[in-house]
Amino acid sequence: MGEKEDGAFLLLGPRKRRWYFSDREAEIFPLSIKINNQKNIELDEKGKITLEKTTS
């Protein structure tokens, strides 16, 4: 992924997406990410993404 100082990237794709280097299809799993205690990114079991700015 690179050096920590260069930042990080989150790659989200559609269900059943197939990458060039694999014969497996992508699956969806619930996910919750908090960024610098300022933003939340949530992904539910159906693939719906929610972006939220936190107030704390």
Give the model confidence (pLDDT) of 17-38 as tens digits: 888 888 988 888 899 999 888 9
- The owner of tokens 């079991």 is 45
41 has a pLDDT exceeding 70: yes
CA dihedral 10, 39, 50, 43 (to 10 degrees): 50
Task: Classify residue 53: in a domain, yes or no.
Answer: yes
Number of domains the chain is built from: 1
Task: Classify residue 18: in a domain, yes or no.
Answer: no
Across 17-48, b (16+ Cβ under 10 Å) vs e yields: eeeeeeeeeeebeeeeeeeeeeeeeebeeeee
Q: Domain of 41? A: 28-56
1 has a pLDDT exceeding 70: no
Q: Bigger pLDDT: 1 or 42?
A: 42
42 has a pLDDT exceeding 80: yes
Task: Classify residue 40: in a domain, yes or no.
Answer: yes
